[in-house]
Amino acid sequence: MARRAIVAANWKMNGDLALVDTMISELANVELQENVSVVVCPSSPYLSELASKVKSNNLSGIIHVGAQNVSEHQSGAYTGQVSAKMLQELSVEFAIVGHSERRCFYKETSTQVAHKVKAVLKSGLTPIICIGESEAERATDQTETVLAAQLQPVIDKIGIEQFVDVVIAYEPVWAIGTGKTASSEMAQETHKFIREFLAKANETVAAKVPLLYGGSVNASNCEELFAQTDIDGGLIGGASLQVEQFTKICSAAKGK
């Protein structure tokens, strides 16, 4: 079974044109291992520039452009929103959906996330669906219930068969930007639960879905995390703004 590894950079509301430029020049020199895709998700004003730099450096198919958010609507009176079709027109290939910061600060629900996933797939992009429990939820043994409740509406909306075109990022909320990484054993255990949960709906599909870990991943801990059976790469926040760290993380990933 060939399951590709993905290393995705989520710049959040950071970075600038200069970082787009240096990141692409440096990524052009990175030797990636077999079956690895790199996705860079800057803020939307930089998507176009990033896409054109990818093209001019002949990195299409190796470095992919991703958005950090997308509307669930196709078009219409939704001031400030960006549709999947608009992203597709800019050569954007991935869209992060349901990041915990959007769930927390902008009150995105799992039902809304499911609608967004459907819109993203309809435009031919790949959604990176973020799920994860809070510190209080883990402490009270609710992790699996929370993850299942975040995934089920998406399964119900698009059907399990469509998950062959989906990426899932497990990001425990307590590990995001805190320097507290889940131990590789804990991350593996949770990834295994996610894959088994999908397998209950369709085993063949579940085996194909890349499951990324996110939360304080850096150049020192990535190798051990990526070596776990059900961890297929990472969604990187803070460390993805530092070119040297990020390129090291990219070279540590390997398809399974």
Catalytic residue numbers, as ranges: 99, 171
At which residue do the structure tokens 């975040």 appear?
150
Residue 160 or 236: which CB sits closer to ligand 13P? 236
Closest CA to 70 of 97, 88, 46: 97
Q: Phi-psi category of 253—alpha, beta or left, where left has phi over 0 and alpha has psi -120 to 50? A: beta
Residue 160 or 168: which CB sits closer to ligand 13P? 168
Site string for ligand 13P, 51-90 (x = CB under 6 A): ----------------------------------------
Q: What is the nearest approach in angstroms of ligand 13P to the Cβ of residue 100? A: 7
Q: What is the nearest approach in angstroms of ligand 13P to the Cβ of residue 239? A: 6
Structure-token pair, residue 62 = 């190796």
Q: What is the nearest approach in angstroms of ligand 13P to the Cβ of residue 231? A: 14
Residue 51 or 225: which CB sits closer to ligand 13P? 225
Would strands 167-170 and 211-214 be described as parallel, antiparallel, or unpaired? parallel
Q: 87-123: b or e for each residue (b if 16 or more CB lie within 10 Å)?
A: bbebbbbbbbbbbbbbbeeeebebebbbbbbbbbbeb
Structure-token pair, residue 78 = 């939704």
Q: What is the nearest approach in angstroms of ligand 13P to the Cβ of residue 166? A: 16
Count residues near ligand 13P (CB under 6 A).
14
CA distance 221 to 217: 6
CA distance 218 to 225: 10
Q: What is the nearest approach in angstroms of ligand 13P to the Cβ of residue 236? A: 5
* Residues between 189 and 248 that touch ligand 13P (CB under 6 A): 214-217, 235-239
CA distance 226 to 35: 13
Residue 127 or 215: which CB sits closer to ligand 13P? 215
- 171 in contact with ligand 13P (CB under 6 A): yes
Residue 160 or 176: which CB sits closer to ligand 13P? 176
Contact 218, 242 (CB under 8 A): no
Residue nearest to ligand 13P (CB): 237
- 127 in contact with ligand 13P (CB under 6 A): no
At which residue do the structure tokens 């799920």 appear?
131
Query: What does the DSSP 8-state code read for residue 77?
Result: S
- In the complex, the residues that contact ligand 13P under the rule CB under 6 A are 10, 99, 171, 176-177, 214-217, 235-239
